[in-house]
Amino acid sequence: MQKINWYPGHMNKAKNQIEERLSLVDVVIEVLDARVPESSRNPVVAKLTENKPKVIVLNKSDLADPKLTKRWKNHYENETTVVVSLDSKHNSKLPELLKAIKQASAAKIEKLTQKGVVNPIIRAICVGIPNCGKSTILNRLVGKNVAVVGNKPGVTKNQNWLKVNQQIELLDTPGILWPKFEDPKVGMKLAAIGSIKETVFQFDDVALFLLDYLHAFYPKQLDKYLNTIEFDDNLPDLLMSMTQKFGFREDYDRYSYHFIQQVRKLKLGQFTFDFLTEVDHENDN
C-alpha cells in the first residue's frame, strides 16, 4: 500500500503557534471527522492539549455510520472531555455545542465567579486536520462568515480570535496534519474523505482501498452499487470492469477519481472508516 505523507511548512508553523497560545485558552475544541474519528485525531495536537478541558466535535456525522458515531461518542467521553456529534451544514445542534463549551469550562467559570468576576470570558481554541469543517462550525457559531471555508484542505492559513457572544471567544487555527502516518491506512482514509491534497496521492490507490474496505465492512451497499458487476477479488480487474461498465472506457484514473467522489457524496451510503475494535486491539497490545 502506498504511503501518503503531506506536511507543508505552514503546518509546522501552525503547530508552534497553537503550542504558544495554549496558555491563553481555557478549553480546546477538537474537531474530528465522524467518518474517521481516530484517524483524524492529530497525535501531535492531542499530546499538546491533553491537560486542557476539551470538547470533541464529531463533525460531518450526517456522512458517517450513525451506529458507529454513537459508539465513538461514548468512547471519547470522560470527566474532562465532552463530546458532541454535529452536522456543520445546519444549526440544529449549535446550542448543544455552546452548552458543551460551557460545561467543559465550568471549573474555570466557577473559579472566576468566586473571585467576583461578572460574566467571565471563556477563551477556546479550535483545532483539527484540514477540511474537517472547523471554519464552517465557527462561522455558524459567530453567525457570519468570518472564517474562510472551502471543500479543499489547507484553506485556513492564519489564526484569528472570533467573538461568539459576550462570554465565549474562539481562536480559529489552520488544519494541520502530522509529519508521518505510521499506519499507511490512515493516509488512505484521509485521502478518501478529502483531507489531503489530491496532488500527493494516486486516485486508483485510494479507489482500490475503498473497494477493499467496503467489501469487508459494507458489502451490501457495495453490491448494490456494482449492480450487475460481479465482485472480483482481483481489485484492479474489478476497478477496470467498473471503469468500462460506467462509461469511462479505458480511463481507469478518471473513473477512480469519480468513484472516490461517489463515496464522498453518499452515493453508496453513510460510511465510517474507523472501527472501535481497531482501537481496542491497539490498547490491548
Annotated binding site for GTP: 59-62, 131-136, 175
DSSP notation for 95-137: HHHHHHHHHHTHHHHHHHHHTT-SSPPEEEEEEE-TTSSHHHH
Cβ atoms of residues 59 and 89 within 8 Å: no
- 22 close to 48: Cβ distance less than 8 angstroms: yes
Report which of 216, 212, 181, 211 is spatially closest to residue 195, judged by C-alpha positions: 181
Q: Is 28 helix (H, G, I), strand (E, B) or coil?
A: strand
The answer to whether the beta carbons of residues 2 and 196 sit under 8 Å apart is no
In the block, residue with C-alpha cell 484553506:
155
- Please choose, from the candidates 227, 228, 220, 251, the residue with its C-alpha nearest in 3D space to the C-alpha of residue 239: 251
For residues 240 and 231, what is the distance between their CA atoms, to the nearest angstrom?
12
Residues 56 and 74 sit within 8 Å (Cβ to Cβ) = no
Distance set, CA 46 to CA 42, 93, 101, 128 (Å)? 6, 24, 18, 10
Distance between CA 238 and CA 225 in Å, rounded?
A: 13
Nearest Cα to 27, choosing from 133, 89, 109?
A: 109
Numbered residues of the known binding site? 59-62, 131-136, 175
Coil/strand/helix, residue 167: coil
